[in-house]
Structure 1
Amino acid sequence: MAPLTLAAACSGSDISDPAPDPSPRFVLVSYDDCDQVLADLRAATERQVGPYGLGGGGPVPPGAAEDGARAQGAVPGAFAAGSPQRPPEHSRTNAHEAGADEPDLVKTDGRRIVALARGELLVIDPAGRKVVHRLDLGGRTTPDGAGDARLLLSGDRALVMTRQTHLHRPRLPGRSAPDAIRPGDTPVPSSPRTTLTVIDLSGAPTVIGSLTTSAAYVDARQTGSVARVVVRSAPRIEFPDLPRTPQPEREALERNRRIVRSAPLDAWRPAFEVRGRDGRATTYRTPCGNISRPRDGSGTSMLSILTIDLAKDAGDPAPVSIAAEGQEVYGNGASLYVTDSRVPPLRGRAQRPGSETTRIHKFRLEGAGRPRYVASGSVPGRLLNQYSMSEHDGRLRLATTTSASPGAREPGGAWRSESTVYVLVEGSGRLTVIGKVGGLGKGERVYSVRFIGPTAYVVTFRQIDPLYVIDLRDPSRPTVTGELKITGYSAYLHPIADGRLLGVGQEADTTGRTQGTQVSLFDVSAAPRRVGGYHLPGSSSAAEFEPHAFLYWPRTGLTVLPIASKYTDGKYTTGSEALVLKVSGTTVRRLGTVEHPKGDEGYPSPIRRSLIVGDTLWTVSDDGARATGITALDDRGWLAF
């Protein structure tokens, strides 16, 4: 067993003080044998188990876990097999980093569009404007639970990642078999199930391999033909129900500790069942030499990274695991980071500002080989999403918000919160803070972040939207070089040419009350200025919280975002509409909208994604796809799914 002492630095709130302060230290342990892995996992879990099991809310059934959250090859086969012609110009998934494609509902390589809808994989010929193939993926809902799916594409191969939640229906008093929940029953616990399906698209879609696991899908990234899939699993330990008759909780606690002390290693180490073309199943688990664990008592869940090479048939997913939690994933092709933001228990006293902590685990990626864990660290505060992280010149930059417990306010009524941007470097198994700038948006929280080269753009909001510009060229002394205050906020920032940023969010009045979708155009080539924008009163857009729903086409400035709801005539209405804008110079103007027809249920399914192939804009919902000319927005056909 080889312990690695890991340290990082935490921040204060003084913008002008770059000196890092010591952060909470923790040790990450790597192992040489399985006996030590089991001993440490048992000890860590025993410290956390309670009279009702793990999680504090009741028994944890087998497989139960906590709920979670670009290479495009030429396509032969049905679409111009053997043709030397290049595919039409086409958009790609709106991913954070160019070197790391992200899973989505729709993918295109210009010759075909592959979409997921209503439990099916559909292949669309954009030239012929027709659905040419369908593959049933087992349905989006099942009697045991519901799931959703995401897609990656490489040449003639697709990888579909399906996440399902299965409900456990235990035997209840007076009933001879598991039954449906009845009024007054204890809430039924659930467990995740993740399926990775490899599909050959060279002709009619054919499943050529699969992987199933009881671990919950977190996220994935793809570079070339290689996908890295992050999953998370809780201990598979079953604890008896605490009887309704009085029983001292101390006795139940001791009973559960004994159960933990006798649990086998595979109660923590998830299984990955792989089936190849021949249908034979092989089970893989993480070798003990590829498991690590923080030694602070929090390492009870298992975070695993799987490697799937779409250029090869299904085989060993080469899992690497750490006994830790994980919610957010950031990758750039060379590195993969997984973070865990948490708030410590109050333990009978008020939570101090800054008690939130984000832990960061870094893995190095080399070709199609097994990811290599290289370092961990921690910083105060909570991340918003993956856009709060960025690696540049080998350094990790991230932005967090620290706050007090809910309801805690400063004397003037403002929330006790502020945001900080950190710079960390890797060395000797540690991610260590070497610079920071804090005190951003006091009394507010981060709404969006974008790192572009050596510059960070951070939006905070409570009543007014400050857009901060931070110079990171000297990583040891980050400096705020600009600040712009306007009403409303931007929840997503998208870089475009000539020192400009597009922001998608909400307009708001001076009290912070939102007033509808707002697209803002910022000039950040010097002091930040808002030079243009468009406001759609009383509306909201999924692009605020799902960047994959946002489309920007640099060649023409075409910008498309779905509109989820509008407030008209005194009530909210949901529809299936995509707002089409054109960004040019310092202006943002409305070109029009694309609408989908009502489905079988009598109402339209919301437009989820937009993409461009050649001179055609495609908008996709669960009900179908519409083709629209990108210049005149002329209707070119509706394909019902």
Structure 2
Amino acid sequence: SSSLTKFTVFDIENRSAPDVERELFIEGSYITAREINGTVRTVTHAHMDVPGVQSWLDLPRGYWNLDYDDPLRLEIREKVAYQTMLNNNEALDRLSLSDLIPQVYEYSGGEVVIHAMSDNACRDFVAPEDGMSRGISSIFSLDLVASDFDYEVDHVVGAYPQVYASSDVLVLAESAFSGWWFWGNDDMDEMTNLHTFDISAPDATLYTGSGRIAGTVLNQFSLSEHEGVLRVATTVGQWARWWMDDPEPMSSQLVTLVRSMDVDTGKQVLVEAGRVDGIAPGERIW
């Protein structure tokens, strides 16, 4: 990731001369944070900036001079695409896991200590099986007042999320697919991935399940949780697909979900408990 979130811890025992005790640099963009009794829980999002991997085609100048329906254009594209894939495979082979996932840099006492997120064999990572995103959302629980820096972290591979938190539950809601994915896939519907965490303990975050519902979530005010029931308001339809001649009309829905266990996989999941749909046809949530 090319962005960093910085936390600075000050010793303010002498209020007239605060002293910097520790500085933490977390790879990723800051989304939100909360401090409770010396423990900070923060959510960041980092885009995987993979060195040497190219997601576009470097087409030769002569390609653009050819007629649009010239079969040579297709031949050139296929050759360039094949070579690009070979180059990408070589670049990926040179990478280690630490090159792909966020790191934490601690500066204290004139020294920099790197805390790698791969020490736990990636057991703190969850990802949708059909996800296409190259981003990682991280939930850090940081003990900023301990003499030795201590932290606990959970990661979700996905798009930039909306974040909702109560005193006991934290929810990440992120688009299941990037907007470009629907270009040429008119039959696909917008979906939202939901990931829930137990944050009742100030120094730990416990993953409690994931689910997917139709539609898009506007912001954190479209989410709430009460006594184990998650409520999500989304807008469905193809209202954002400006290139379509006859997109599916939009409307909104309110869906409730509860935690459950998939008996086949043993995974923690969120299952639909109820819904009200068809709200305000032709309009979306603002």
Output the TM-score relative to the length of structure 2. 0.77
Residue of structure 2 equivalent to 1:171: none
1:559-574 residue pairs with structure 2 within 5 A?
none
- How many Å separate the matches in 1 of 2:210 and 2:190? 17
- How many Å separate the matches in 2 of 1:347 and 1:410? 14
- How many Å separate the matches in 1 of 2:282 and 2:178? 18
1:346, CA displacement in angstroms? 2.5
Which one has the bigger helix percentage?
A: 2
**Candidates 261, 268, 274, aligned match of 1:435:** 274
Indicate if the aligned counterparts of 1:399 and 1:421 stay in contact, CA closer than 8 A: yes
* Aligned: 1:212 with 2:25: yes
Residue of structure 2 equivalent to 1:106: none
- Alpha-carbon displacement from aligned partner over 1:84-125 (angstroms, at most 9, x marks no partner): xxxxxxxxxxxxxxxxxxxxxxxxxxxxxxxxxxxxxxxxxx
SS for the counterpart of 2:87 is helix
* Aligned: 1:271 with 2:103: yes
User: Aligned partner of 2:84: which letter?
Assistant: A
* Aligned: 1:193 with 2:22: no
* Aligned: 1:334 with 2:145: no
Q: For the structure 1 residues 207 and 425, does the alpha-carbon distance in structure 2 shift closer, same or farther, using more than 3 Å as the test?
A: same
Q: For the structure 1 residues 290 and 407, does the alpha-carbon distance in structure 2 shift closer, same or farther, using more than 3 Å as the test?
A: closer
User: Aligned partner of 1:197: which letter?
Assistant: T
Indicate if the aligned counterparts of 2:31 and 2:45 stay in contact, CA closer than 8 A: yes
User: Aligned partner of 1:213: which letter?
Assistant: I
User: Aligned partner of 1:435: which letter?
Assistant: G
Indicate if the aligned counterparts of 2:53 and 2:92 stay in contact, CA closer than 8 A: no
Indicate if the aligned counterparts of 2:36 and 2:202 stay in contact, CA closer than 8 A: no
1:379, CA displacement in angstroms? 0.7
- Alpha-carbon displacement from aligned partner over 1:189-238 (angstroms, at most 9, x marks no partner): xx312211223444134322111133222222344443211122233422
Q: For the structure 1 residues 305 and 373, does the alpha-carbon distance in structure 2 shift closer, same or farther, using more than 3 Å as the test?
A: same
Structure 1's unaligned 5+ residue stretches are 1-62, 64-190, 448-641
SS for the counterpart of 2:127 is strand
- How many Å separate the matches in 2 of 1:409 and 1:397? 33
**Candidates 133, 139, 156, aligned match of 1:305:** 139
- Alpha-carbon displacement from aligned partner over 1:29-86 (angstroms, at most 9, x marks no partner): xxxxxxxxxxxxxxxxxxxxxxxxxxxxxxxxxx3xxxxxxxxxxxxxxxxxxxxxxx
1:158-307 residue pairs with structure 2 within 5 A?
191-202=2-13, 203-204=15-16, 205-239=18-52, 245=60, 248-276=80-108, 278-286=109-117, 287-288=120-121, 289-298=123-132, 300-307=134-141
Q: For the structure 1 residues 311 and 266, does the alpha-carbon distance in structure 2 shift closer, same or farther, using more than 3 Å as the test?
A: closer
Residue of structure 2 equivalent to 1:470: none
Q: For the structure 1 residues 434 and 212, does the alpha-carbon distance in structure 2 shift closer, same or farther, using more than 3 Å as the test?
A: same
**Candidates 403, 416, 427, aligned match of 2:249:** 416
Q: For the structure 1 residues 261 and 283, does the alpha-carbon distance in structure 2 shift closer, same or farther, using more than 3 Å as the test?
A: same
1:440, CA displacement in angstroms? 0.9
Percent identity at matched positions?
25
Q: For the structure 1 residues 299 and 249, does the alpha-carbon distance in structure 2 shift closer, same or farther, using more than 3 Å as the test?
A: closer
User: Aligned partner of 2:154: which letter?
Assistant: V
1:273, CA displacement in angstroms? 0.8
SS for the counterpart of 2:101 is coil
1:311, CA displacement in angstroms? 4.5
SS for the counterpart of 1:294 is coil
* Aligned: 1:346 with 2:185: no
Residue of structure 1 equivalent to 2:66: none
Pairs aligned (count):
252
Indicate if the aligned counterparts of 2:237 and 2:250 stay in contact, CA closer than 8 A: yes
- How many Å separate the matches in 1 of 2:244 and 2:285? 18
Q: For the structure 1 residues 418 and 243, does the alpha-carbon distance in structure 2 shift closer, same or farther, using more than 3 Å as the test?
A: closer
- How many Å separate the matches in 1 of 2:274 and 2:208? 21
SS for the counterpart of 1:317 is strand
SS for the counterpart of 1:248 is helix
1:501-580 residue pairs with structure 2 within 5 A?
none
User: Aligned partner of 1:230: which letter?
Assistant: V
SS for the counterpart of 2:82 is helix
Indicate if the aligned counterparts of 2:31 and 2:44 stay in contact, CA closer than 8 A: yes
SS for the counterpart of 2:48 is coil
- How many Å separate the matches in 2 of 1:240 and 1:363? 33
User: Aligned partner of 1:446: which letter?
Assistant: I
User: Aligned partner of 2:212: which letter?
Assistant: S
- How many Å separate the matches in 2 of 1:219 and 1:409? 39
Q: For the structure 1 residues 403 and 221, does the alpha-carbon distance in structure 2 shift closer, same or farther, using more than 3 Å as the test?
A: farther
Indicate if the aligned counterparts of 2:216 and 2:236 stay in contact, CA closer than 8 A: yes
Q: For the structure 1 residues 313 and 370, does the alpha-carbon distance in structure 2 shift closer, same or farther, using more than 3 Å as the test?
A: same
Q: Please say which structure displays the higher CA radius of gyration.
A: 1
1:299, CA displacement in angstroms? 5.7
Residue of structure 2 equivalent to 1:614: none
* Aligned: 1:379 with 2:218: no
User: Aligned partner of 1:193: which letter?
Assistant: L
SS for the counterpart of 2:150 is coil
User: Aligned partner of 1:389: which letter?
Assistant: L
